[in-house]
Structures are given as structure tokens and as C-alpha cells.
Structure 1
Amino acid sequence: MKIDADELLKWGMMLLKAALILVAGHYLTVLVINIMKRSFKKIDVDVSLEKFLCKTVNIVLHVIIILSALNALGISTTGLLAALSAAAVAVALALKDSLGSIAGGIILLLTKRFKTGDFIEINGEKGNVLQIDMMHTVLKTLDNRHVVIPNGVVVNSQIVDYSSEDIRRLDLAFSISYDNDVKKAESVIISVANAESRVLKTPELPFARVSEYAASSVDIAVQVWCKTSDYLLLKFDLLEEIRRAFDENGITIPYNQLDVHIENKDNS
């Protein structure tokens, strides 16, 4: 079998060109992604959105590089593109039930309703956002459970973001006996709140006023402001500290009581 030197050289050059396209394209893609990552850090882009954009750019650029390398080898990419398009349509039809979640993921990443690390509530589930991907949003609850919620559900649900603001108002309620001095109880609560370093004096001073005269108690509403990061522990501490202050000042927390009156009738 006779080998044509010119033909061999031609194929060698084509292979070399294709290899150069693959290698140079790969390193160029890595460079572009690194530039994107540095830029995202400067403008404080959400981690999940950064991963999504970098992954998308990486896939698109590598597809272009592979098609360019095939073209350099003299292989027509028209038929390949048509086959890929047909395959994409088939996959889309097979995954039509998941397209809503994919669309929801894109909406969540682009509209920034919440970001990775936020403490949120979705359909009664509370937790820190671990990840927002194309299909699901993953929450880590306070008791260390992972809750995976389809993005199609997330985007159509009411979302409460407890981390969106730096400060929050903490609302508490206490019940005291009708025999106690209401003003004294309010003063004790305010004193405890003012002594707590985590309670903020702005935007409002600590507040304590009667909210209801219930069947067995006088109910007092308490409102204080604090940093969002202090909210949970401050709630527990104030509950204990105010109860301790009540005991020291002779203020009782009542329990439901039922008075039974016995009437003795003489039927004789």
C-alpha cells in the first residue's frame, strides 16, 4: 500500500491544527472562567449564581471548541448539529415535567429573591440556604436536616427571608396574675431589656404594654430590636431573664384556674 507523502502531511497538519484548537481552547476557557470568578467576587455575586454561570460558560465554550476542532479535521458539523438539536428536543420532551423546576432555578438565580447562606422559610420549612442549583434549592434546618425543594415549588411559594435585613424586631408575650401591679411588671421587663447589651436602642426603645385581659391573666406584649444574628439566642435569654426578674419582684405567672361553687340544696 503506497502512502502519499503529501496526503500524510496534509492529515498531519489537520490533526496538529485540531489539537492546537483543543489545547488552546481549553486553556482559554480556564482563563475566561478565572476572570469571571474574580469579577464576581468584586461585585459580590451569589455563590450559586456564580457556579451556574461558570458551568454554563464552560460547557458552551467547550462545545464550540470541539466543533471547531472537528471542522479543522474536515468533518462537517452541520449533520452533528442537527443530531444534537434532535436529541435536545427528545430530552426536553422526556423531561417536560422537570422544565418548570429548571425555569424556576433560572428565575431564582437571576432575580436574587434570596442568596446562599440566607435563613429563609418556604412552605413551613426553615433553614439556611445551602445551594441553589438548576433543579432544586437545598435548605439546612436548625436540627441539621437537609430539605430539598424543587425550584418550581419555590418560585411559586411565599418565601420569608429572615436574613434580608441586618436587624429584626423580637416579639415576646408574658402573662401575669390579676393580683400583680401591671406597671411594675412592665417596668421590670423594660429594666431587663435595657440591661441586655444585645438589645438595640434604635430604631425603637424596648416596649412593654398590656395587650389583652385574658380569662386568667393580664397579657403583656414585649417588643425589642436586635441584630439578626442575635435573634434566636436573645429570645431564649430574655425569656429566662424576665422570668427570673419576675420571681425576684414577686410577680407571678398564672395558670388556668377553674373555680367550682358547690350549692347545697335541701330537697326535703
Structure 2
Amino acid sequence: MNLNPNQLTDYANTFITVLIDYSPKVISAFVILFVGLYAIRLINRFIRKLMIKRDLDPTLTKFLADILLWVLRILLFVTFLEKLGVGITSFVAILGAMGLAVGLSLQGSLSNFAGGMLIILFKPFKVNDTIEAQGVTGTVSEIQIFVTKLITANNQTIFVPNGSLSNGNIINYSLQKIRRADLTIAISYDTDIKKVKEIITAILKNNPKVLQTPVAEVSVKNLTDNAIQLAVRPWANNEDYGNVFSETLESCKQAFDTAGIVIQPYVRESSQDNS
């Protein structure tokens, strides 16, 4: 197709006219965009400092600040499109449909998100607490929005989904300052129970890690077909619990050997059918 000079001139004039008429909208839209981004950054920084000053939970502070940041960015983007003259009604409808589709496809993630909010708000545990939940035990390293990060005693990292974590049972070993160790020691029926209890009581009193209050308990727990089971229940501070547990067992074994007391081995009862 051949264009004559008059047509080229008409096209150029039309382009210049449209550019002159539309340039104020473009300039104002980009001014709003850049000023808005700068203002959002200042607002977000101010909100973070305010929440830190109010001693809010660090995880909650980060989450609320991020939510505010993205809400303001979305509002700014919609304002930017409107200033350019783009119809936002259809855009909002498409955005809503996309949000619904994403929500349906990410139901599990939304459940974890809601669980993370519940954990952050109600605080059944906090960072550095030792908890047992969903079949695992570890120290809470980080509470994220979708998962909680645990570090086990053998230094393994476990990520537990917040949805199942918030809906299940949680044992928080750090919530109370002290903890009781529950040990079971089995002795034969030929053994003097009183003598054994005196030995165990002396061991617990001589261990500085065992608390004197509450008083440790040594009592008969059960009488089985082959052994007398004694319940040994010393109290200790959380940080000494593991040592008290193992040291009590070791000291009892050494003292029993010295006194000639034999620890009765565990025997599994076998069931017989009488036919």
C-alpha cells in the first residue's frame, strides 16, 4: 500500500494531537505511582516501628506489615490504571474471579494460613519453647504464616503445617518452669521394698539437680506377675530434666549393684487360648 505525503501528514498530526491530549494523564498517573510507592514505603516503615515499640510478637509484626504493604500497593495500582483512563470494572471482576480460583485450588494453604493466624494470636507456644505435636518433639525455631519450624534434639529441622498444628493437641514443655520425670523401676518379689525405696530416696536427695520442692515421690506403681514396679518421680527445672532422668537411672543401677539388688527384666506376657 502506497501512502501519499498528505496521508502521512494527517497521521502525524493525529498522533501529535492524541499525544498532547493524553500526555497530562500519563504524566499525572506516573507521578501518582512513584509518589505513592515512596509514601507506602514510609507508611510501612512507620507501622513496623510502631508495632515494635508496642512489643508485639515479631511474627505478627512482620505479617501485619506485609499485609498492609500489599493492600496499599493494590490500591495504588488500581488508582494508577484509573488515572490512565483504563476501565477498572472489568479488571476488578477478573481479579475477583482469579482470587476465587486460587482460593479453591489452595484450600490446604488457606487452612495453614488460618492456623498460623490462630497460633500468632492465641500463642499456645512461642519461639524457643519445646513442644510436642503431630507426633514430633522439638524446639520452636520460627513461627511462619503457613508452617512452624522445629529443631529436634538431634538437630533435625521439621516443618509442621500450621493447619494441623492448630487443630491438634500441643504439649508445651516450656510453659511451666519445672517438670516431673516419670520413671519406672522393676524389682523382684524377693527384694525388700523398704530398702529399695530408701536407696532411691537418698539418691534423689543427693542430686543437686533434683528439686526438694515439690518432694520427689517413690511408691509402688504396680504388681505384675513377675515384678514389683516402683514409680520414681523427681522434679527438676526444665533445663535439667534430661540430666535428672538419665542420672537417676544410672545412680539407681550402681547403687543396686552395690547393695546386691537385682533389677527385674521386663517380660512380655504371652496370651494363651484355652480351647
Name the counterpart of 1:265: none
Greater shift in the superposed pair: 94-103 or 168-177: 94-103
Residue deviations 1:210-260 (CA, integer Å, cap 9, x gap):
222333332211111111222122211111122222223332213369xxx
Structure 1 residues 199 and 92, CA gap change in structure 2 (3 angstroms): same
**Structure in which a larger fraction of residues adopt helix:** 2
TM-score (norm 2): 0.77
Structure 1 residues 35 and 69, CA gap change in structure 2 (3 angstroms): farther
Structure 1 residues 13 and 54, CA gap change in structure 2 (3 angstroms): closer
Q: CA deviation at 1:189?
A: 1.0
TM-score (norm 1): 0.79
Name the counterpart of 1:136: 147
Structure 1 residues 22 and 52, CA gap change in structure 2 (3 angstroms): closer
CA distance in 2, matches of 1:222, 1:18: 70
Name the counterpart of 2:70: 59
**Residues 40-55 of structure 1: matches in 2 within 5 Å?**
42-43=55-56, 45=57, 47-55=58-66
Structure 1 residues 235 and 50, CA gap change in structure 2 (3 angstroms): farther
8 Å CA contact 1:18–1:72 kept in 2: the answer is: no
SS at match of 1:127: strand
SS at match of 2:45: helix
Structure 1 residues 10 and 134, CA gap change in structure 2 (3 angstroms): closer
Residue deviations 1:130-150 (CA, integer Å, cap 9, x gap):
333333333322223333333
The residue type paired with residue 57 of structure 1 is L
Structure 1 residues 17 and 155, CA gap change in structure 2 (3 angstroms): closer
SS at match of 1:237: helix
Q: Does 1:205 align with 2:221?
A: no
8 Å CA contact 1:167–1:226 kept in 2: the answer is: yes
8 Å CA contact 2:28–2:83 kept in 1: the answer is: no
CA distance in 1, matches of 2:201, 2:45: 59
Structure 1 residues 36 and 74, CA gap change in structure 2 (3 angstroms): farther
Name the counterpart of 1:36: 51
Name the counterpart of 2:118: 107
Q: CA deviation at 1:169?
A: 1.2
Structure 1 residues 65 and 33, CA gap change in structure 2 (3 angstroms): farther
**Residues 216-227 of structure 1: matches in 2 within 5 Å?**
216-227=226-237
Residue deviations 1:158-196 (CA, integer Å, cap 9, x gap):
222222211111111112233332212111111111111
SS at match of 1:99: helix
8 Å CA contact 1:29–1:62 kept in 2: the answer is: no
Structure 2, unpaired ranges of 5+: 1-11, 268-275
SS at match of 2:190: coil
Structure 1 residues 23 and 50, CA gap change in structure 2 (3 angstroms): closer
Greater shift in the superposed pair: 122-131 or 161-170: 122-131
The residue type paired with residue 124 of structure 1 is G
Structure 1 residues 11 and 123, CA gap change in structure 2 (3 angstroms): closer
Q: CA deviation at 1:75?
A: 5.1
Structure 1 residues 82 and 191, CA gap change in structure 2 (3 angstroms): same
8 Å CA contact 1:105–1:152 kept in 2: the answer is: yes
Name the counterpart of 2:202: 191
Name the counterpart of 2:34: 19
Q: Higher Cα Rg: structure 1 or 2?
A: 2
| Aligned-residue CA RMSD (Å) | 2.8
